[in-house]
Amino acid sequence: MQVTIKYGPGNQLTRTLDPGAVMGDIIHDENIRAVLGFGDNVEPRVDGEVVRSASHPLRSGDTISLVTKAHSKNA
């Protein structure tokens, strides 16, 4: 199955994944991280919806956007 992964303006790639792939396969893949240039502080979204679990299943044709999380300070 193929998915599109986006991070930042103009940075995207299409990747072929095995059936049963989950979000964790994307956010922990060192090759994808190196190509797109993201670190640990990202919030994944699939077709615009925030994904809170690394076990979220992916489907062929999904568009995955990785958005840098806002920093917060605890008082």
Q: Between 2 and 69, whose confidence is greater?
A: 2
Q: Which CA distances in Å does 26 have to 51, 69, 71?
A: 12, 17, 22
State the DSSP H helix or E strand holding residue 4, giving kind and residue range, or none if neither: strand 2-7
Q: How far apart are CA 15 and CA 63, in angstroms?
A: 11
* Fold classified for 2-68: Ubiquitin-like (UB roll) (3.10.20)
Tens digit of each residue's pLDDT (9 = 90 or more) over 34-66: 999 999 899 999 999 999 999 999 999 999 999
Predicted pLDDT at 69: 85
Where exactly are the structural domains of the chain?
2-68
Q: What is the pTM of this model?
A: 0.86
Q: How confident is the model at residue 72 (pLDDT cuts 50, 70, 90)?
A: low
Q: How far apart are CA 39 and CA 16, in angstroms?
A: 21
